[in-house]
Every structure is written in structure tokens, then in C-alpha cells.
Structure 1
Amino acid sequence: MSTLEEVLARARGLIGRWEDEDCGTVTVKDFCRYAAAIDDVDYIRRARAQESAGAAVEAPALFLASTMSWEDGPAEAELRPDGLTARESPCTQGLPVRQVHGGQSVRLSRAPLAGSRVTASRAVTSVERKHGRSGDFVLLGLTTRFTSADGDELTAVDETIVVLAAVPEGAAS
């Protein structure tokens, strides 16, 4: 079985299987770190003023959709050659592949408030083998739904990952 056929088989077996990840309780500090990363100084000032006044603080609009992981991050040695972690590489663990992001669509329902517990539920939603100018590849469709403790959807992200066979060592890229 070829590498891409293995990705197809694994993905087909995972379609519709949702995996939950407890993202923990989001904080003003988390929101401000994100705002600093996107250079939104005005958000930081507003959020800190609201926090000081005892008011509820909403996350920046794309905070949940932009967070790739809720952990501290892996050691560099645990990253795949394409820079992704195993969690960000469904259906490809241990296979000689490379991946690129094929785009995403984000649905914003409501922003989480600081102090809210958030859960991310993720599933493979589609898989398709394609052929292009550079050869065969697989398109993985993924959906991540972020929900509050009461189960209400906060944000949903539909994304496409392009999976290609790895370039053999020594081959021209």
C-alpha cells in the first residue's frame, strides 16, 4: 500500500469520529498574549481596563480559531519534518509525508469570556485523493468546534489539509 493510500485508509476510518480536548479555562492573560502576537495593542488596553473594573472580558474574535494547541508545545525533536505536531497531522503519524494548509472557513457564534471553560472537538470530515501537476495528493477535511461548558458553540473551523508524499532524501525539490 502506498503512503497516500495509507492516509486515505486511516482517514476513512476516522470520518465523523469526534475527539474532545479540554482547553481549560481561558483568561485575560491568554487573550492579551494573542492580541500582542497580532499587534492589537488597543485590545490589550481595553481588556485590562475591563478586567480592572470587574467587567466581563471577551476574547478577540479569532482567538479560538487561531490557537493551534492548548499545551505548552512540544520539544523541537517531537516536531515532524514539516514543523507540525502529531495532533495537527491526523492520519499521517509515522508516514513519510509533508503537509500544507489548504485553507479554512471560520464561523464565529460568540466569543468566550475570560473565566470560561472551553472544549475543542475535532473530526476528520472528508478525504479525497486528487492528482495535480506535481502528482498525487490527498485532501483532508477537518472540523474543529469550540464549545463552552454549557455545550453552546463558540467558534467552528472547517479546514483543508493537503497531504503529499515526502520528497525522497537527496531529490531536488
Structure 2
Amino acid sequence: MSVVLQEVLSRARELIGRSESEDCGVLGVKDFCRYAAALNDVDFIRTARAQEAAGEAVVAPALFLAGTLSWEDGPAEDGLRPDGLATRESPCTQGLAVRQVHGGQSVRLGRAPVAGTRVTATRTVTSADHRGGRSGEFVLLGVTTRFTSQDGAELMAVDETIVVLDVLDVLDGVADEHGDKRDERDEQRGAVA
């Protein structure tokens, strides 16, 4: 296993079971409508705005909480990792030359979130495993995020699998397909370690 993947695995195993909470703020109809607009769900927008005007409760779209990557404004482009993720969305990988892909997601719906609800997201690393396959070695991270309302009711829980790859191993695979030199990459690997 590469030094980089060993470090990811070590960091992840130290975090297993520890939770990190984030106040997502109070949900608003505008947030729901922006999400619906991104999905081109014009019917949701019309209905939500009519309910809001009538003083009725507006329920979020079903996957609104799971589909929101961050509750902050987000980093500038130079604050993104090479794989497009913000550093804060990359557990156990800060400062490491890795690439991540999502390996799947399971969503459990609880009480439907309604506009005006204050939400807390609690993220926990649940597992970390070293694996290998045809494409090489990687680390599988299990992460669970629970969304709860101010009264503690669970609104949604999301279980994710994140695949972490050593960037130099990824480059090796691309280089092998294109006949590039391995010696230069081996030197880079020594510099990273």
C-alpha cells in the first residue's frame, strides 16, 4: 500500500465513531426553490411559492438535505482540490495527493423538513478499509451524515462510501495506457513520501 493511502487509512481509523456537527441554519422556501430550479422542477417552485403566499407550511423536496453538499457559501475555485471537492468535504485527506470518487449512497428519510426548521448535520466516519482491484489499491471510507431538527427529530440519514485513490497510482494507470515513463513517476512518489 502506498504511503499516502496508509496515511488516509491511519487518519480515518482515528476518527471512526467521532462525530462532527454543523449548524445548517434555518431552512427557507428560497433554498428549496433554488434546489428545485437546479433540478428543473418548475411545478415544485410554483406550488411552494403558492403555499408560502397562503401562509401554509412548505415541505422541502425529498432529497434536498442529501443533495446539498455544503451549507457555506463554498470555496473559491483555488480552494478546491483537484477532484473538485472542497477540503472540508474530504475527510481524512487534507494535504494529501489523492483523488476521491463517491462509491454509493444510501438515504433513509425521516420526518420531512419544513421551511423554518433549524437543521444540524452530524457527520461520522464509520469505517475505513484498504482494498485492491483491477485498477489498483484504494481506501474505502464509510461516512454517515444525520440531519436533525432543533427538537432532535431525525429528518434524514445518509450513508456514503467514498473511494480514495493515490493520485500517483491514478497517473500510473493513465500513463501505462499512453506509454509514458514510469521512472519519473517513481521519483515523484519518493518526493511525496
- Report the CA distance between 1:2 and its aligned residue: 0.6
List per-residue Cα deviations over 1:32-82 (Å, max 9, x = no partner): 000000111110011000000000100000000100000111010010011
Q: Which residue of 1 aligns with 2:180?
A: none
Give me the TM-score of the superposition, normalised by structure 2.
Answer: 0.87
Q: Find the counterpart in structure 2 of residue 105 from structure 1.
A: 106
CA-based RMSD: 1.4
TM-score by length of 1: 0.96
Counterpart-to-counterpart distance in 2, 1:113 and 1:12:
36
Q: Aligned equivalents of 1:117 and 1:4: distance in 2?
A: 37
Q: Residue in 1 aligned with 2:37?
A: 36
Which residue in 1 is equivalent to 2:124? 123
Give secondary structure in 2 for the equivalent of 1:107.
Answer: strand
Which has more radius of gyration?
2
Deviation at 1:134, TM superposition (A): 1.3
Which residue matches 1:54? Answer: 55
CA contact (8 A) 2:117 2:149 kept: yes
Letter in 2 for 1:9: S
Aligned sequence identity (%): 72
Which residue of 2 is the match for residue 162 of structure 1? 163
CA displacement, residues 77-135 of structure 1 (integer Å, 9 cap, x when unaligned): 01001111111110000001000010000001122110110000001000100010111
Q: CA deviation at 1:167?
A: 2.9
Q: In 1, Cα distance between the equivalents of 2:74 and 2:33?
A: 19
Q: Give the aligned partner of residue 135 of structure 1.
A: 136
Query: In structure 2, what is the Cα distance between the partners aligned to 1:83 and 1:18?
Result: 24
Q: What's 1:18 paired with?
A: 19
Separation in 2, partners of 1:81, 1:109: 34
Match status 1:5 vs 2:6: yes
2:136–2:169 CA contact under 8 A, matched in 1? no
Unaligned runs of 5+ in 1: none
Distance 1:62-1:170 versus aligned 2 partners, 3 A rule: closer
The match for 2:186 is: none
Task: Check 1:46–1:82 CA distance in 2 against 1; reply closer, same or farther (3 A cut).
Answer: same
Equivalent residues of 2:135, 2:173 under 8 A apart? no
More helix by share: 2
Give the gaps of 5 or more residues in structure 2. Answer: 175-193
